[in-house]
Structure 1
Amino acid sequence: MAHPRSTPSPIAALVLALLLAGCGDKGAQGPAPEAAGRDPTVTISGDEAVVVPAWQPAPVQIAVGDEPKVLAEAIAALDAGKLFGGDRDAMPLLIELHARLPDDPEVSRVHARAVAMLLAEGDAALAAMDTDPNGLRHAHEVGEVARTAAADAPTVRAYLSRVDAADASVQLDHRGERELQADRLGEGDTRGALQYFREALVKRPGDARAAQGIAAVESALIRRAETAAATSDFAQAETWLQHAAPIRPGMSTVADARLRIGALRTERVNTLRDQGLALLMRDGGLPQARRILSDVLRIAPPADPAATELRERIDLVAHYGLFRPGQAFTDALRSGARGPQMIVVPHGGFRMGARDGETDALPNERPLHYVRFDRGFAMARTETTVGEFRRFVDATGYRSRAVRRGHSIVYDERSGNLVRRSGVDWRHDYNGAIARDDMPVLHVSARDAEAYAHWLSQQTGERYALPSEAQFEYAVRAGSEGSLPWRSRIPPRSAGNVTGSLDRSPTGRTWRNAFQGYGDGWWGPAPVASFAPNAFSLHDLAGNVSEWVADCWHEGYRRAPADGQPWVNPGCRTRVIRGGSWASAPAQVRAAWRLSTDGDTTNARLGFRLVREL
C-alpha cells in the first residue's frame, strides 16, 4: 500500500543527509580553506604599519540534530551584539550553519542579518577613524570576518572597497604631512602636500586629517606672505596670498591676512612718507627724500595717496625753489619798503586740541582731532609791531576801533586791574603810555588786524591774512605733543614772557596765579623777539601778547575743518583769541587754550600776527 509523501523541513533533510554521510561532521573540519590560505592584511595608520591577520573562525561543534538549537543560540548572540571574537559568537555559528544548510531560508536570513550588522559595525569604525586610533584596524578586522562569511556578496565587496579607500587616504595623509614638514606645499603647478591631502579627501570624503592638512597648507602660505611683508616685499606677499586664496574659498583666513598685511603696508608707506617729508625740511635733504620716494613707490600700491603726497612735495621743493621750510623772507611793498619778516612753516599734520587727561582742559578744546596741511605756509616771525601798524595807518589814514571809540582797556598799576581808559589806541602801551615801535601793537580789534592784512596783500600782491586756529596751534606746538609748548611743567629759563612767581611789577606786585619758580624780568609786554624762537623759528607764540585768529567761535571742534583752513561763519561777531600773554594764568599758556570774545574787543593783552600763502 502506498503511503502519502511528506516533504521534510530543510533542517530534517540536512539531518537525514548527515546521517547518510556517516561520520562527516563539518563542524569539526576547522577553518574554511579560503581563510586558511589568505595572507595577512597590511594597512598604514599614522607612522607605523599595522598588520591585521586573516580571520579564522573558531571551530564549532554542532551535534547532529542540534542545528535548530544552534541557530537560536546564534540569533541570541546577534541580539546581544556578539558578532565575532568568541567561539560561540554569531558569525562562527552562522558560518558553520550556512555551510551545512545553504538552502535553508531561516539560516540564510539570519546569516544575511549578521553580515549586515557586521558591515554596519565596520562602517562605524571607518567613520570614527579620525578620532579613534584603532578605528581603521577594527574596520580591517571586520573586513576579514566579512570576507570569510560572504566573500562574494556585493555588499561585502563594496565594504572592502571602502576599507581600501580608507587605507589609501591614510597613506596619502601621511605623505602629505611629510611634504608639509619639508615645506613642499604644492602651490601653483608644483606637486606637494596640497595635492596629497586633496587626493585623500577624494578617497575618503570627510577625512578630517586631510582637511586639517589643507588648512595647514593655507596657513603655511599665509606665513610665507607675512614673512615677505615683514621685509617690505609686498609683491611677493601678494603672490603667496593668491596661491592661498583658492585653497579654502569659503573661509575668511586669507582675507583677514590680506587686511593685516595691507595695514602693515599702509603703515610702512606712511612712515616712509613722513620720513621723506621730514628730510625735505632740512638743508640738502632733497636727494635723501628722493631715495625715500623710490622705496615708497616700490612697496606702495598703485595710486597710493601717501606716495602721491611725497612725490608732489618733492616736486614742489625741486621746482619751487624760492622757499624752503624754515626760510625767513620779506616781501617788497609798492613804496619800496619791506613787509614783515615771514618764516616758512613746513606742511604736515598734527593732533589739534586738548589731550586726554590734560590738566585745566576745557570742553571747547575737544574733541582731539587730526589736522593736516597739504601745503606749507608762512607766518610772521613776531607779533605785528607798533611801527609796522603805523606804516599802514600813515599810508591809508585808517582809523582803528579804539581811535573811533575813544578808549581801550589798560593795566592800572595802582589797582592791579585792567581798567577802561580814554584816549588809548594802537599807539599806546599796556598801561596807556606811548609805545615804542618795536613793541607788539595792542588795542586793536580783529577787524583792525584784517584791515592791515588787506593793505599788506594789496602792497605785495600776495595773500596775507590772520592765521587760522589750526595754523596757530600747529605753530605753537612746532612738533611737540605736550599740553605746554615746553617739555616741563615749569617753563625753561627765558622761555618767554609769561606770568612767573618771580616777576615783580614796578611797585612790587606779584602774580597770584603764575608759574612757580619762574621769572622773565617783564611786567607787561616785551619788545618783539626778546625771547628765543621755537622749533619753527617763531617768537612769542606762547606769551608776550595773546593774538587774534581768523576763526569764528565754535563750542568745540566737531565738524571742524581737517585741512587747517579757518572755520568761518559769514557775519559772525564772536571771534577766537589764541596764545598766552604777559598776564595770562598758566592754564591759558597751554597750546590748546582758546578764548571767545567780541571781534571789536581791544585791550592791553591782545595783538596779532599774519600768515601768508606760499
Structure 2
Amino acid sequence: MTEDRQKRYGSVCTGLVFALWVGLFAGNAFAQSQPDGTATAPLKPGTVFQDCPNCPELVVVPAGLFIMGSNGSRKTENPAHRVNITRPFAIGRFEVTFREWYACLKAKACSHAPDDHKWGRRGRPVINVTWDQAETYTSWLTEVTGHRYRLPSEAEWEYAHRAGTTTAFWWGEKAGENNANCKDCKTQWSAKSSAPVGSFKPNPFGLHDTTGNVFEWVADCWNPNHQGAPSTTEPRKDGDCKNRVIRGGSFYYFNKVAQASYRAKNPPGVKSYWLGFRVVREIP
C-alpha cells in the first residue's frame, strides 16, 4: 500500500466503516427483491423494488458513516472527511435506461429523444441527456409515483458506490479485468461503447455499474475540492453552479477516472455519449 493510500484510509476509519456497514446491512449482502417488485412491504436495507412498471429498479441502502474523498495526490478529492448518512435511502440499482427514459417521453413529460449513438437501446443506459433533462425526469417520477425522486447528492453517490469498502475500487485496489466497463478494463465494450446495464457483478449494496460504463450526473454544484463540504448528505449548492459534478467514470476513460473518490465536472447543459445518470428515491 502506498503512502497516499495509508493517509487516505486509516485503520480506525476502516474499522468504523466496516463495523457500521456490517451492523446495518448484515443479512443483506446481496439485494433481496420484493416478491411483487413493488414497495408494498417495509423498505429495509437490501430491498429491491419499483414504484411502477416503467420506473427504475431501486435498492435500499442503509444509514451509516463513511469516509468520503481522499488525502491522495488528486487535490480535487481532498480532504478525506467523515459523512453521516442519517437515514436509509433508495437508489437506482442500475443507471436509468433508454426504456425508462422513453416512458417519460411517451407521457410527454420529457421532450428530448436522446441519440443512442447507434449502439442500440435494449438494456442500455440512457445517454446524451443534460443535467437539466435528468432533473425533469426525476420530477416526472415524483409526480407519477407520489414519492420524491431526485438526483443523488455527491455524498450519497459515493456512499452507495463504496458500499462499506475503502479501496480504490469497491472490489480492491486494482481495476483488474472484466470487473467494469472502462477504457483499459479489458471488456468487450471497453473504449467502444456503453454496456447493457447489469453486465457486471454488483457491489455489496447491490448496485451495478457505479464503476465505469457511463459517467453519472449528481446534484451538486462543482467545488475544486471537499474543503467546507457538509458532514451530511446534503448536496453542495455553493461554488460553481455553472458546472455540476459527475461521478463514476465511463467506458471512454481509463480506470483511474473510475476510482471511488474521483471527481469531475460538466456544464449542466452539456450532453455526451459517455454520460448518463441514476436516481435516488427518498424513504419517508
| 1:604 aligned residue | 273
- CA–CA separation in structure 1 for the residues paired with 2:26 and 2:107: 39
| 1:343 aligned residue | 59
| 2:188 aligned residue | 521
Q: Deviations over 1:398-451 (max 9, x none)?
A: 323xxxxxxxxxxxxxxxxxxxxxxxx51x22xx32632311001000000000
Give the SS at the match of 2:107: helix
| 1:324 aligned residue | 44
Q: Deviations over 1:532-586 (max 9, x none)?
A: 1111100000111000000000111121111111112499221111011001122
Give the SS at the match of 1:542: coil
Q: Deviations over 1:34-76 (max 9, x none)?
A: xxxxxxxxxxxxxxxxxxxxxxxxxxxxxxxxxxxxxxxxxxx
1:386–1:435 contact (8 Å) kept in structure 2: no
- CA–CA separation in structure 2 for the residues paired with 1:276 and 1:397: 40
- CA–CA separation in structure 2 for the residues paired with 1:276 and 1:489: 25
Give the SS at the match of 2:241: coil
Counterpart pick for 1:398 among 110, 121, 129:
110
2:119–2:193 contact (8 Å) kept in structure 1: no
Matched, 1:552 2:218: no
Counterparts of residues 135-284 of structure 1 (less than 5 Å): 278-283=22-27
- CA–CA separation in structure 2 for the residues paired with 1:465 and 1:590: 24
Counterpart pick for 1:368 among 51, 68, 80:
80
Higher strand share: 2
- CA–CA separation in structure 2 for the residues paired with 1:468 and 1:608: 12
Give the SS at the match of 1:372: strand
1:494–1:532 contact (8 Å) kept in structure 2: no
| 1:497 aligned residue | 181
Displacement after TM superposition at 1:461 (Å)? 0.7
2:109–2:140 contact (8 Å) kept in structure 1: no
Alpha carbons of structure 1 residues 519 and 465: separation in structure 2 relative to 1, 3 Å: same
Q: CA RMSD in A?
A: 2.5
Displacement after TM superposition at 1:279 (Å)? 3.3
- CA–CA separation in structure 1 for the residues paired with 2:234 and 2:151: 11
Q: Deviations over 1:220-274 (max 9, x none)?
A: xxxxxxxxxxxxxxxxxxxxxxxxxxxxxxxxxxxxxxxxxxxxxxx9xx97x98
- CA–CA separation in structure 2 for the residues paired with 1:489 and 1:277: 22
2:57–2:92 contact (8 Å) kept in structure 1: yes
- CA–CA separation in structure 1 for the residues paired with 2:128 and 2:62: 31
| 1:607 maps to amino acid | G
TM-score, length-normalised on structure 1? 0.40
TM-score, length-normalised on structure 2? 0.83
Counterparts of residues 34-45 of structure 1 (less than 5 Å): none
| 1:444 aligned residue | 129
- CA–CA separation in structure 2 for the residues paired with 1:559 and 1:486: 29
| 1:141 aligned residue | none
Matched, 1:352 2:68: yes
Q: Deviations over 1:125-172 (max 9, x none)?
A: xxxxxxxxxxxxxxxxxxxxxxxxxxxxxxxxxxxxxxxxxxxxxxxx
- CA–CA separation in structure 2 for the residues paired with 1:389 and 1:398: 8
Counterparts of residues 92-131 of structure 1 (less than 5 Å): none
Unaligned ranges ≥5, structure 2: 1-11, 29-39
Displacement after TM superposition at 1:278 (Å)? 3.0
Percent identity over the alignment is 37
Q: Indicate the structure (1 or 2) with the bigger Cα radius of gyration.
A: 1
| 2:31 aligned residue | none
Unaligned ranges ≥5, structure 1: 1-266, 285-319, 401-424, 501-517
Q: Deviations over 1:163-216 (max 9, x none)?
A: xxxxxxxxxxxxxxxxxxxxxxxxxxxxxxxxxxxxxxxxxxxxxxxxxxxxxx
| 1:77 aligned residue | none
| 1:15 aligned residue | none
Runs of at least 4 residues off by over 6 Å: none
| 1:575 aligned residue | 244
Alpha carbons of structure 1 residues 498 and 571: separation in structure 2 relative to 1, 3 Å: closer
Displacement after TM superposition at 1:282 (Å)? 2.7
- CA–CA separation in structure 1 for the residues paired with 2:247 and 2:84: 19
Counterparts of residues 39-54 of structure 1 (less than 5 Å): none
Give the SS at the match of 1:453: helix
Counterpart pick for 2:168 among 483, 490, 494:
483
Give the SS at the match of 1:575: strand
- CA–CA separation in structure 1 for the residues paired with 2:267 and 2:149: 22
- CA–CA separation in structure 2 for the residues paired with 1:449 and 1:440: 13
Higher helix share: 1
Alpha carbons of structure 1 residues 279 and 546: separation in structure 2 relative to 1, 3 Å: same
1:281–1:324 contact (8 Å) kept in structure 2: no
